[in-house]
Amino acid sequence: MATVCETLDPRIRRTRDLLQQALDKLLETREFEKISVHDITELATLNRATFYDHYTDKYALLEAMVGCRFHGLLAQRKVQFDGTCASELKALVMAVSEYVTRFQGPAGRRQIEPHMESAIIAVVRRILMEGLAKHPPQTGISAEMIAATASWAIYGAAREWAHTPDRCSPERLAETVLTLVSPILHLPL
C-alpha cells in the first residue's frame, strides 16, 4: 500500500507528519477541492519540491493521512486478525465503524469519502491477508479474493451504517457484519 505510516527514517516520518497535519488542519475550515498543494506546504512550512518528494498529489497525501490515522486507531485498540477468531474480526469492524463516523461531520469531510474508502479498505485487506497467510483457506479460493471481498463488505456495511439515521449501536453493527462476513472468511460464529 502506498500509505506507509511507519518509516524507519525519522526525517521522512517527520516530513510526512507535517504534511498530514497541515492537510488535516485545512480540512477543518475548507473543502478538500479548494485546498491546494501550496496551501498545504505553506501551513507545513515546507516547499513544494519536498511535498512532491513524498506524494504525487494532494489525493495521495489524503489517502496516506487516512490510512495512517486508521492504522493508528487499530494499533491503539490492539486490533489484529489471525484468521481464526471471530472476536478479532468484530473488533476490526467496530474500529472501521468508529473511524467512518468521524468523517460524518462537515460537508468538506464527506467530500473525501472516496479517498477514505480506498485507504481504509487497503488497510483492512492487508490485515485480513496477514490472518489468512497464517491460516490459508482450504476452499480453492485465493486468499486475495477472500480478503478483497471481506474488506469491501466490512467497509460498505460500516459506511451504510454511518449514513443511517437512528442507527443501531456499533456493537450491534459488528454482530451483523460478523454474521455476514464470517462465512466468507470461513470463521465459526
Residue at 41 is within a domain = yes
Is residue 3 domain-resident? no
Tell me the CATH number at 95: 1.10.357.10
Average pLDDT per 10 consecutive residues for the chain, totaling 189 residues? 60 94 92 94 97 95 89 88 87 92 63 82 92 87 94 96 92 95 86
Instruction: Supply the pTM of this predicted model.
Output: 0.80
- 30 in any annotated domain: yes
User: How big, in percent rounded to 5, are the helix, strand and coil portions of the chain?
Assistant: 70, 0, 30
Which bin fits 135, alpha (ψ -120 to 50), beta or left (φ > 0)? Answer: beta
Residue 13 burial (10 A CB sphere; 0-12, 13-18, 19+): middle
Counting the structural domains of the chain, the total is 1
| Other CB atoms within 10 A of residue 85 CB | 15
Structural domain of residue 48, as residue ranges?
Answer: 10-185
Task: Note whether residue 5 is domain-resident.
Answer: no
